[in-house]
Amino acid sequence: MNFPKRIKQHKSQSDSFAILLYKLKDLGIYRNATENDYGIDFEIEIVKEEQLTGNYLKAQVKSAKEIKIRLDDGIPTVGGIKQSTLAYWTELSFRSHVIVFSVDLTTEDIYFTDSVFWQATCLLDKSENSKTIEFNKPFDFEELIGKEEIDKKPKEVLIRFKDHINTKLIQRIANQPLLGDVINAHKTLLRNIKDVFELYSDTWHYDAWTEVQRLDVFKIVLECGYILLHSQIPKEVDGLNEEERRHLFSFDYWAQITDWSYDDVSNMVAMKPLKIIYPLLLDKVQDFSSLVLKGAYYWLNKDVTYLKMVYKTIIPNRRNHDELFAVDYEFNDFENKEHWSSFYNDLKHS
């Protein structure tokens, strides 16, 4: 008597799901989305200390048989991703973070991407060719806890520790600001980039105990810094105590420190957060501008106004405290002299 046989692909998928749910069981609540699979297998609601956080991830699980480790840099990759799937991930990313998992069924190692949006936008083009996505490089046990500690601990303890670290890393992805907030912060800083540089110079050039001259720009720097530098400020920062670090992006906090006003911040007080924030924030603005230009085909079709603003806006390459004063504040120093129309036409007809 013959019975139905389970398809190998279905077994691999089922085993991958089981390993993922077991090893990352502390991540949160998994809601299966495979019944109508168009590029998402799970919706995961993050749980912290047994409380629902309201933060979600949407996750796709790829076959481990397809994963390859690049020899030159050790980055895990998976090919064969349809451009329609990439486009679907980008649209979902405006509502929730989307990440991709792959599970090695032999070692039970789990690989995962960061939020896949920016990677997907850089891969989309006019062709119908499938693409290869990159996963985060697994963390190095020896670098993290040392070889001697590894040799002392049972294998089961190390496995649990690795699962715990992976859970924490994925929670961090879920807790990042949503894509719409990130893009709006980037746009805001680009629109005000000349004023952002002038604010820095003015803060040191005006009398230390007078109010910040461009208070609206100071607020923009704090608000956009909070979004773009989320969780990137080290736990220990030279020149900041713990309370100042926790309130680094809070206008109300620095206004309170000013003492004589809850509506203004003195230049002396503003110096402290600005000196910490500016090098990191300007690098981050430049990073996002580079990503937009790498994904120019996507933005040409999604938001050409944003693409044009990124293309036309130069971020002066000044990060050192003394160098920030050397920027020439004529607008030409912030404007790309290359013709937008040529770039636009070349992109449209490439």
CATH number at residue 108: 3.40.1350
Query: Do 80 and 215 have their domain in common?
Result: no
Rg over alpha carbons for the chain, rounded to the nearest Å, is 24
Query: Do 109 and 226 have their domain in common?
Result: no
Q: What is the dihedral of CA 96, 99, 100, 102, to 10 degrees?
A: -130
Q: Is 152 domain-assigned? A: no
d(CA 314, CA 331): 10
d(CA 93, CA 100): 12
Domain end point (choices 102, 136, 170): 136
Query: Do 206 and 117 have their domain in common?
Result: no
Q: Which helix (H) or strand (E) holds 126?
A: none
Q: Can you point out the beta strands (E) in the chain?
A: 28-32, 42-48, 51-62, 67-69, 76-81, 97-103, 110-112, 131-134
Q: Is 163 domain-assigned? A: no
pLDDT at 5: 64
Domain end point (choices 104, 136, 168): 136
d(CA 111, CA 170): 11
**For the chain, which ranges sit under pLDDT 50?**
none
pLDDT at 230: 81
Domain end point (choices 78, 105, 136): 136
Query: Do 113 and 196 have their domain in common?
Result: no
Question: Could you tell me the residue range of the domain that residue 312 belongs to?
Answer: 179-349
The pTM assigned to this predicted structure is: 0.91
Q: How many CA atoms lie within 13 A of 259 on its CB side?
A: 5
Q: Is 253 domain-assigned? A: yes
Q: What is the pLDDT of residues 153-195, one digit of tens each?
A: 788 888 888 899 999 999 999 999 999 999 999 999 999 999 9
pLDDT at 154: 82
Q: Is 49 domain-assigned? A: yes
Helix (H, G, I), strand (E, B) or coil at 266: strand
